[in-house]
Structure 1
Amino acid sequence: MLPSFSYLTEHTGFRGTIKNSPRDFVVTELEVPELSLGNSRAELLHKTSEAPAAQSSPCPREPKRRRTEPPGPSAPGCPRDTAPGPPGCAASPGERQREGEPELQSGRGEAPVLESLLGKPVSELLHKFACEVKDAWGSGNNAGAGAREFSLGPRLDKKIRADLHSAVRQKFPFLVTLTKDNEMIVKGNPDYRELCQLVTEKEASDFFKFLDAKLENSTFSFEPDGNKEHRKIVHHFINRKFGKLLETKSFTVTDVNDRPNMSIMVRFREKSGSRKRCAGGFQEKQDVYTAFTLQKENLETLEAIGLLAAELDVLPSDFSYTGIKDKKAITLQPMVVKKVTPERLKEVGNKMEKKGMKIYNIRPAQQHLRLGQLKGNHFDIVVRDLQHHSHDSSADLKERIAEAVESVGTKGFVNYYGPQRFGQGQIVQTDQIGLALLNEKMVKAVKLFFTPEDTDDPVNNAKRYFLQTEDAKGTLVMLPEFKVREKMLLRALNRYGVNHEGCTKGWLNIPHSLRIFYVHAYCSKIWNEAASYRLKTYGSKVVEGDLVFLEENDESISLNDKVHVVTAAEESANKYSIYQVVLPMVGHSIKYPSNKVGQWYHERLSKDELELCKFRVSPLQLNIPGCYRLILKNVQNLSYFLESSEKEIKIEDNHLNDLKVSLHISFDLDPSCYATVCLREIMKCDL
């Protein structure tokens, strides 16, 4: 598995086998409380729960005014950045990827996007400008606020300009962005200010985020409002300002006191302008998003999504989830699918059971899930065929197991990425494809993607045929329907050809989260090698030049400022613990250790011809800012028991009772931690 990698603990360990069957390896995703999709294993299966909570506005929420009062002026507060969470893994990006996402992402929300696009100095100046606009509004100086402008400088790339427009407006809904001769200008949004005179600032902020996002079939509802004249003013404002884009409708709701009330719903107009209204509101599918719990067995997460997408006639990108789970296991995790109603999802349930999936807890949802948006995973694992290591046959096996479990329960384990991140046992692993994409070798990446395994089945036969003939159309016919990624790529190759341009368009034809998955696999491989080098070079001592993560609650401190470089004096004073040491996941916005480990990173990237790589693959719209990951991790709620079974074996005419012992072990791990890596530390052998 990880033959050259380090162990943290010094116990002897033992041998055994895992994943003899999927039922020997059960993974249950632990959800963060705000998702409200059930936090226990039982709840995952049985609880009927609410949809994920919406994200909060970056602006402080003002007290809600009673709607029976006339609209009056508000005093919006100054925006605050969203602080990144404590160390915990997250992406993949897009990503955030594949048994969870990497740890300590470069911030959460829009702030890191702005910083990566603008750079930290300009990003901070923009934040200061936003505060000045708000302060001017708060003091009643509307003319002064309206005259203020801030330049983001010339931006020649249309894609970068589009990303900046969206990032600024999502972070600061009270600002607007304009382009003058490729120069991007930011100024206060007078429409936002006017709406703040009619509704609360949070409603105004959420409305303009909804307006900027332009999500298909999405709707926005204002708070219940019993004042008919006030509702009329709000209707008129929206129709006057955005009537070509939006339409509004009042409908009956139940307010916080369980009394009937009225609310204004806003939605985007149909392009044809032919949408009809009905008595209950807009004539549309009410369940734009549907949440459910997916149980799968012996299937990759992306493979399961491909099967579901083909059955439901939607795209794989319409599914959202918080992490990738093992194939050779029974796994349970929450998911949300877009453009599918609960009724439609229930219809396909029986068909999915024949393909190794069960669908539970189906209910309407409000929004999609994000990679890394989970608390962790709970594992129930059976290790069979327990034996001593060949050099350790004299000791009592039960004592060896107790010693191993206690040791790792106390000290933890090296936080490597597990083999499933790279395609365990495959001829071409995912990190090799990621490296080809980073080097912008698009044809090579496609051919690596279609490299077959040494088996005779329809999928590998189709891949073999493609490499021999480059006949994309013929390969499409040979591939099974559930191979959605392969088919998406092949359709573009059939249209544009198997050359650099055609392969680039082929990669663009598959979802962004899948494209970036391969790049993150490469970054994970480099991190694993760096962790081994760091431990072999310096051991468990924190040394000068190491990076440590500081637990800072100040929201104004950026992620990079929370990662501190250890000084010589701090090393002498033993100020930090090895459990605080992080290593960077390579990217364009991270800093490296200033000791031998930092030099190792530069030499290692140079070996892969990436010394000048900016970790942005513009042709594929891939942006890899990087993040940080703790070298060591602890295990929680660790428990185990041994189960003996006597198996009668006939040897000639005699009967011998052969005692078989299995280890049943359960524990919780943080996101992006791998149970196989934890077990490797416990057993001291590769699995």
Structure 2
Amino acid sequence: MKLYSHIKKAPEYFIVEELPRLEIASDGKYDVFLLQKRNTSTLEAVRIISKLLKIPLKTIGFAGLKDKYAVTTQYITLPSGTISEEEIQFVNNGRWQIGKERKNSFFKIKFLGRTNRPLSLGEIEGNKFTIKVRNFEKSMREKFYRNFQTIKLYGFPNYFGEQRFGSVKSRDDFVLRYLLKGNFEEALKVYFLGKEKINVITSWQNIYKILKPTLEEYEKDLLKGLIRGLPAEKAFRILPKNIRIMFNFAFQSYLFNRFLGEYIKQKYPHIQIPFINNWKLYFYTEVEDFEKLKGLKIPYIGYEFPPEDPLLRKIIRKIFKEEKIDPATFNTEIAGIKVMTDGERKAIVIPKNFKIISKTKKEVTLEFILPLGAYATILLRNLLAV
């Protein structure tokens, strides 16, 4: 993807520091540790801590998921006294182990103090980013500085970034589409194969045989159940609940991006930028009604939060019709999860302390703070127009 030719050459090009909503004291029911990691996802680090230190996974509290291909700093909590060491380093030398030699993938935890409650998802003020943009060619500079000033003045559209669409394996392919139709068999084939291959590999035996080396244990159990004749709906429930919920999040995030993109496209001068799966994102270049836009919230479906803006109402109806979404599915339960639930998200994000901290002929280093839920990769797409 073109964006990544300009960032993430090495994890050190993408530095993320969590800004916690956390009071650290000298005593309390929970120990607070600083988790510093490189080339490792938050979930992977937490699982390794649980496994190697023999700590129940559910007792490890954390507030946010940080990028894998980055150098990141965040906070975790554990019940007081769970770990006696002040600092522990984990390295990947073919397999994860506790050690001191720094490898390509590693992380460490360092004791900071105590608090009276565990961290839970969402309990952060935001994240501070330091990002080096490379391959900063002369042809990019005029566009870059123009977009930089636009973002300084008007912020940028609050689209969901590509990280939100981990369950999408091919273009316009969402497991939830099939669940909404009650077609669990097709939903599972899309989950394992992606839309483009579901008519090529047809039997569960073949799917299991081909994918076995890459499958998680619960996926193996699921496919073995299907091979034995377990109904697809029951087999689907073998997937962990957090994964089933992500199918809903991914589809609703896609709808939100469509609502916001169409609103910008119809209302403001804009540029069009390619996104994953041949989707398009639209970024405004001028805004005449900034105060209104700054306060605008886009609903996920508009069921509990109907928008006041007539243009937005019209756009949501139009997209629901195009996507063949039946309002009868709103806020219903399918396979043990609530689907098509409503909520609101701000239409734009205004980065704090957005500045260039160094530059050469070929590289520019940026620094900025984003609130919880905003994506640095979306800001960068807007800035670089790629």
TM-score (norm 1): 0.45
Correspondence list, 1:394-409, <5 A: 397=141, 401-409=144-152
Partner of 1:295: 36
Deviation at 1:316, TM superposition (A): 4.9
Given the alignment of the two structures, is residue 501 of structure 1 paired with residue 233 of structure 2, yes or no? Answer: yes
1:382 to 100, 111, 132: 132
Partner of 1:30: 19
Partner of 1:582: 297
Given the alignment of the two structures, is residue 487 of structure 1 paired with residue 217 of structure 2, yes or no? Answer: yes
**SS of the residue aligned with 2:163?**
helix
Deviation at 1:28, TM superposition (A): 0.8
Given the alignment of the two structures, is residue 524 of structure 1 paired with residue 267 of structure 2, yes or no? Answer: no
Partner of 2:377: 676
Give the letter aligned to residue 302 of structure 1: L
Counterpart CA distance in 1 for 2:69 and 2:290 is 43
Deviation at 1:314, TM superposition (A): 5.5
Partner of 2:198: none
Give the letter aligned to residue 532 of structure 1: G
Partner of 1:358: 108
Do the aligned partners of residues 494 and 596 (structure 1) sit closer, same or farther apart at CA in structure 2, a change above 3 Å counting?
same
Correspondence list, 1:279-358, <5 A: 290-313=31-54, 316-337=57-78, 341-343=82-84, 349=90, 351=97, 355-358=105-108
Query: Matched residue pairs, number?
Result: 351
Give the letter aligned to residue 630 of structure 1: K
Counterpart CA distance in 2 for 1:340 and 1:465 is 52
Partner of 1:628: 344
**SS of the residue aligned with 1:639?**
strand
Counterpart CA distance in 1 for 2:187 and 2:44 is 20
Deviation at 1:30, TM superposition (A): 0.9
Given the alignment of the two structures, is residue 445 of structure 1 paired with residue 161 of structure 2, yes or no? Answer: no
1:637 to 353, 356, 363: 353
Deviation at 1:588, TM superposition (A): 5.0
Give the letter aligned to residue 619 of structure 1: A
Deviations 1:233-272 (A, max 9, x none): xxxxxxxxxxxxxxxxxxxxxxxxxxxxxxxxxxxxxxxx
**SS of the residue aligned with 1:533?**
helix
RMSD over equivalenced CA pairs, Å:
4.0
Contact 2:329 2:339 in 1 (8 A): no
Counterpart CA distance in 1 for 2:293 and 2:223 is 49
Do the aligned partners of residues 516 and 49 (structure 1) sit closer, same or farther apart at CA in structure 2, a change above 3 Å counting?
farther
Correspondence list, 1:230-249, <5 A: none
Counterpart CA distance in 1 for 2:68 and 2:17 is 13
Do the aligned partners of residues 606 and 440 (structure 1) sit closer, same or farther apart at CA in structure 2, a change above 3 Å counting?
farther
Counterpart CA distance in 2 for 1:682 and 1:638 is 12
Deviation at 1:614, TM superposition (A): 2.1
Give the letter aligned to residue 488 of structure 1: Y
Q: What are the ranges of 5 or more consecutive residues in structure 1 without an aligned counterpart?
A: 4-14, 38-47, 52-286, 453-463, 541-573, 645-659
Partner of 1:421: 164
Counterpart CA distance in 2 for 1:596 and 1:345 is 56
Do the aligned partners of residues 293 and 575 (structure 1) sit closer, same or farther apart at CA in structure 2, a change above 3 Å counting?
closer
Among all aligned residue pairs of Structure 1 and Structure 2, give the percentage whose two residues are the same amino acid.
Answer: 23
Counterpart CA distance in 1 for 2:36 and 2:51 is 18
Partner of 1:93: none
Partner of 1:240: none
Partner of 2:244: 515
Deviations 1:396-427 (A, max 9, x none): x4x76555433321221111111222139x74
Partner of 2:174: 432
Contact 1:292 1:336 in 2 (8 A): yes
Deviations 1:581-627 (A, max 9, x none): 11102375332456243233234334444312123324313366421
Do the aligned partners of residues 623 and 522 (structure 1) sit closer, same or farther apart at CA in structure 2, a change above 3 Å counting?
closer
**SS of the residue aligned with 2:124?**
coil
**SS of the residue aligned with 1:386?**
coil
Contact 1:376 1:671 in 2 (8 A): yes
Deviations 1:4-53 (A, max 9, x none): xxxxxxxxxxx971111110000111112xx225xxxxxxxxxx7666xx
Counterpart CA distance in 2 for 1:2 and 1:524 is 22
Give the letter aligned to residue 232 of structure 2: H
Counterpart CA distance in 2 for 1:593 and 1:431 is 31
Counterpart CA distance in 1 for 2:85 and 2:206 is 40
Deviations 1:160-213 (A, max 9, x none): xxxxxxxxxxxxxxxxxxxxxxxxxxxxxxxxxxxxxxxxxxxxxxxxxxxxxx
Contact 1:430 1:522 in 2 (8 A): no
Do the aligned partners of residues 317 and 429 (structure 1) sit closer, same or farther apart at CA in structure 2, a change above 3 Å counting?
farther
Counterpart CA distance in 1 for 2:191 and 2:34 is 30
Deviation at 1:315, TM superposition (A): 6.0
Correspondence list, 1:51-62, <5 A: none
Deviation at 1:466, TM superposition (A): 9.5
